[in-house]
Amino acid sequence: MQIQDLPYPDPGVPDARSGPRFLWWLFRNQLDGQLKSLAWGLLHFASVSALPFCVGLAIQSVVDRSGGRLALAGGLMVLCCAGNAVGDTFLHRAAVTNWITAAARVQQLLARKTALLGSALTRRVAAGEVVAVSTGDVEKIGWFVEAVSRFTAAALTIVLVCVALVVYQPALGVVVIVGLPVLALAVLPLLPRATRRADVQRDKAGRATELASDTVAGLRVLRGIGGEELFLDRYRGASQEVRHAAVRSARMWSLISAIQVLLPGLLLIAVVWHGVHLAREGRIGVGELVTVYSSVMILTYPLRHFEEIAMAYSFSKPSAKRAARVLALERATDTTGSREAETPTGDLYDPATGLLAPEGWFTAVVCGDPDTAGRLAERLGGHPSEKGTSALLGGVPLDELPLKSARTAVLVQDKDPVLLSGTLRELLDVPASGAVGAEDALAAAQCGDVLTALAQGSLGTDDPMDARITERGRSLSGGQRQRLALARSLITDPGALVLDEPTSAVDSHTEARIAEGVRALRAGRTTVVFTSSPLLLDRADRIVFLHDGEVAAVGAHRELLHTEPRYRAVVTRETEEETAAHLDGVPAGREPARPPRDDANERGDGRVDGREGALSDDDVLHRLEEIEETA
């Protein structure tokens, strides 16, 4: 695989049982590239290591006044230099290719796993960990994978040189062959400690990065409550911990590097001292002494790769472990689909709860538990985060469909949709039927003020569609982000659309217009909305109330307000005493009616009924009338 051929048609099925197994799987799947790197590495290191023999031959030929051998030595040096240049060039090319292709394979595997799991991924693994694996960790993994072949070439070259020295000059060759293993293995006792210190540094750096990200994301809130300095002090402390950990780690690696420099120097002194005595005794010539001396000097170069492979493995092992942990995650249901690819139509039904959303109807679902509502929404989309009974669309189990078919048939927008960075035009460029245009979708989602704000905040363009949206839409308010996400979902125009609290962050007047717009745009299409907002519920064709995970009542909004006390308690935020009174048959009218509580003050989240801002006067009067009529 070459860089220009990326991405891989199929990155394969990884061995994610452990970090080392994953690294070995990557190495095996890049065997062709590894063999190329090994071949070029052998040419490079062998050419470098052969130069001392050529130099020794040239010196000895001068001492012996042999012009023929001097010319031969010169020719051999030219060949060694040429081999060194060619080998080094193509070794670098092969190594970089192995690095990039290994990293690309890991990124493709992570992207495929993310698409497969969907929103269930962040329920099982922190989003920050997924980002860390797909950015910094893939580079460390690629570093180790490409370093293996260079290390192997260096190790083979050292063995060949040692054998050649023993054959060429046994007296000095024995000294070298005994000393080199000591040089190579001397740092092994220090590697576990160096690895632990590097892990501590990475953990502290990750916590500091997470703290910085949270601080930036909540900067508006921090400024409002005067908490900027508090969080800045926390980040300063975390940053200092990272610095101290980095210094401790650097000290250990510098000690390893110092040993890698000191021990070859000691070996060189031993060779020279022993060689001088042999030369005085006449047992070796000057050229042979120079050859052995130069060989030991040159061998310090391939020996450095022992340190590099140790560092690469110590850094890549925890990265591979994190990647394997993410790649080992599986969907709670069938991942390939036992049925043929199709896009079924019909009623959307969940056997576990008894929820039925008739085809072509606007169905609202009221559930007192937000977590239960989120899990049910995922199950209706055919990709639940937990094992259980499959939802049916037109009688077809969604879990048995290929994932692509299930997601084409049913689109689920969760309560916290993500806006990708880029222009608004790119954000709305999603797979769609073509029946709903961007203008109609934006109008139905009441995005007029959002478009105006984007146009005013963008330089160099008057077209809001070309305005850029920052990362996760952080430059927009919560309500603006929700409305753009809703418009994106409407453009896709799926056969069945499931929306989980799509208007929880907008004001009441905008919410009413959104309800009308969505109802009109989705006429004749199946729409399921999880909400407790009276404005949405009053415009639904059918309301399903869930209690304790099962359907407790079905009907219209005003009908359920009069006949189902538990439904009324969820929608109007009745107190427990009022709900108990209704359930026991005690007329609630005996107690004076009172206006709805300021839930924002009690919850402390600055929201009323799950929405930003306060209720309007009309909303309050509407709530009071409902309570009085019920009483």
So what's the pLDDT on residue 192? Answer: 81
pLDDT over 90 percentage in the chain: 27
CA separation, residue 142 to residues 62, 94, 146, 320 (Å): 49, 13, 6, 10
250-279 pLDDT tens trace:
898 888 888 878 888 888 888 888 888 888
Q: Of the spans 363-367, 580-584, 623-627, which averages the highest pLDDT?
A: 363-367
Calculate the CA dihedral of residues 364, 510, 221, 373 and round it to 10 degrees: 0
pLDDT at 87: 94
Per-residue pLDDT, averaged over 111-121, amounts to 78
Q: Residue 513: helix, strand or coil by DSSP? A: helix
Per-residue pLDDT, averaged over 323-347, amounts to 76
pLDDT given at position 198: 81
Confidence of residue 497 (pLDDT cuts 50, 70, 90): very high
CA dist 517 and 230 (Å) reads: 44
Contact 502, 479 (CB under 8 A): no
* pLDDT tier for residue 584 given thresholds of 50, 70 and 90: low
Helix, strand and coil percent figures for the chain, each rounded to 5: 65, 10, 25
pLDDT of 521 reads 93
Torsion angle, CA of 26/28/30/31, rounded to 10 degrees?
A: 160
- pLDDT exceeds 80 at position 630: no
Q: How many CA atoms lie within 13 A of 77 on its CB side?
A: 14
Tell me if residue 496 falls in helix, strand or coil.
Answer: strand
pLDDT at 223: 61
330 pLDDT above the threshold of 50: yes
Separation between Cα atoms, residue 50 and residue 67, nearest integer Å? 21
The model's confidence at residue 284, banded by pLDDT at 50, 70 and 90, is confident
List beta partners, residue 350: 355
CB contact at 8 A, 423 and 466: yes
Report the alpha-carbon distance of residue 159 to residue 217 in Å, rounded.
56
- Contacts of residue 202, defined as CB under 8 A and 6 or more positions apart, other chains included, come to 318
Question: Among 105-114, 192-201, 443-452, where is mean pLDDT lowest?
Answer: 192-201
- Torsion angle, alpha carbons of 196, 201, 207, 213, to 10: -140
Give the rounded percent of residues in the chain with a pLDDT score beyond 70.
84
pTM of the model: 0.68
Q: Which residues are bridge partners to 611 per DSSP? A: 608
Nearest-angstrom CA–CA distance, 595 and 592: 10
The whole-number average pLDDT for the span 41-62 is: 88
At 282, is the secondary structure helix, strand, or coil?
A: coil
